[in-house]
Amino acid sequence: MPVGLQFKAAIAFYPPCALAADQLIIPTIVLIGELDDWTPINDCQRWLDRRGGRGATVKLIVNRGAYHAFDNPDAGDGVRQFGHWLKYNPAAAERSTSEMHDFLAEELAN
């Protein structure tokens, strides 16, 4: 990264929240599938509870009925990979893209 530039926001699609840092220094949006068995929503909820509102804000978007890789058309109607179920969900992908754009517009306007 060029000298003097800094990140203003972060976007995380189905991140491993169990491994996430408790302290964040930039606002973050987390987009995850309700049925994700690879990076489960429960890990993200525990992470948010553990953070206790400290640090930068985190916006958690849970896509109901969606699995891991919900935004990847290559996952198609579902495929098992490394023991986990991946499935494309066009509605979740569209919603996540819209949420991501809104989040970035708000954060980058500041």
d(CA 63, CA 52): 23
List the domains of the chain with CATH numbers.
10-109 (3.40.50.1820)
pTM for the whole structure: 0.90
Segment 85-108, tens digit of pLDDT: 999 999 999 999 999 999 999 999
Place 1 in a pLDDT band, splitting at 50, 70 and 90.
Answer: low
Q: How many helices (H) and strands (E) does the chain have?
A: 2, 5
Q: What 8-state DSSP symbol labels residue 84? A: E
